[in-house]
Amino acid sequence: MSATAATRPAAEHHPTSTSSRGTRVLGTLIAVGIPLLLLFAFALSPEDDSMQDAVRLLYIHVPVAIMAYVGFGLTALASAAYLWKRTRWWDTVAHASAEIGVIFCGLTLVTGSIWGRPTWNTWWEWGDVRLVTTLVLFLVFVGYLAFRRVPSDPEVRARRAAVLGIVGAINIPIVNRSVEWWENSTLHQQSSLTDGNLEDLTLFTWFLGTVVMGAVFLWLLIHRFRLAWLEDEIDRHGLASAIDERRAEARAGVEQAVGGQVQGAVEPRGGTQ
Amino acid sequence: MSHLGYLLAGWSIGLGTLALYGWSVLRRARNAARQVPPGRRRWMTADD
């Protein structure tokens, strides 16, 4: 780094963005990882005996489902940490993670539905316990995000949101274990990872998909966290500025009133002279 | 390749949604960052 660059203020490096060296490195890895994932998913991995090429949809469906779990799980952990530490940092992590979890959970439902049509001959099955519990998980966290938008005292809202975040995440193990607990009420198969019947390239593509989606999740989480922090700063700064302005107006009003009284008290006397 | 339409729909919706959401976060962040003094941007360090 040159001497000029070293002495340059931080704001000049990134005047108007939430990027940093870490996010740029992560972004580069994602830019390389996605084409690689597409190459493995569409060209190098074999088709499945029963699902044929529809299996290629699972290389995105399963990783986004895992990231939805991670997102909501992190929301619950950050919420618990907030209730313990009562710091704005943990509340912001919970908020950012929940929003990204909702995006990934929505994609889980959509890509699962698209995969279900050629595989099960249906877009949606209300009798399938995993589909319904995943939908409930999605709606609970949509509600969580809606709750966070309700105007109220920031600390009260953060505390209540933390409780909701923890309660909502109870559904994660239910979704995950539902195919075993209610095996007669689901079209989903049990875990394919543990039965040892998957080919190496299939397993590797699944693993690669999970790593790439993990990097996407982390990149989004960092940027969303920083955005939430900025929005909070604007709210706090805006509130402080508004209070200062009102105080200044009140002071000016008092001074004007006092000045008017003094002038009024002087003028009649002047008028009698 | 069988089920090509489903494959293209699933992958393009998946990657497209993530790209769109990422772009939206970056755009909102740029707008917000302009309104906050550099010293109050939590993640900034002296050399970055």
pLDDT in tens, B20-30: 999 999 999 99
Region A174-199 average pLDDT: 71
Q: Is A253 on the interface with B (CB under 8 A)?
A: no
What pTM was computed for the model? Answer: 0.82
**CA dihedral for B41, A226, A169, A70, sign (positive or negative):** negative
Q: Do B30 and A219 touch (CB under 8 A)?
A: no
Region A68-78 average pLDDT: 96
Region A175-204 average pLDDT: 73
Per-residue burial over A236-257, b = 16 or more CB atoms within 10 Å of its CB, e = otherwise: eeeeeeeeeeeeeeeeeeeeee
pLDDT in tens, A136-185: 999 999 999 999 999 888 889 999 999 999 999 999 999 888 877 777 66
Beta-carbon neighbour count of residue A260 at 10 Å? 10
Q: CA of B23: which chain A residue's CA is closest?
A: A220
pLDDT at A78 over 90: yes
What pLDDT score does A268 carry? 52
pLDDT in tens, A236-266: 776 666 667 777 878 887 778 777 776 666 5
Those residues whose C-beta lies under 8 Å from the C-beta of residue A31, and which sit 6 or more positions away, are: none
C-alpha distance from A9 to closest chain B C-alpha (Å): 8
Opening angle at CA B29, ends B25 and B30, nearest 5: 120
What pLDDT score does A262 carry? 65
Region A83-89 average pLDDT: 92
What pLDDT score does A26 carry? 95
C-alpha distance from A57 to closest chain B C-alpha (Å): 6
Per-residue burial over A122-151, b = 16 or more CB atoms within 10 Å of its CB, e = otherwise: eeebeebbbbbbbbebbebbeebeeebeee
Percent of chain A past pLDDT 70, that is, above it, reads 82
Those residues whose C-beta lies under 8 Å from the C-beta of residue A159, and which sit 6 or more positions away, are: A82, A83
Between A79 and B43, the more confident residue is: A79
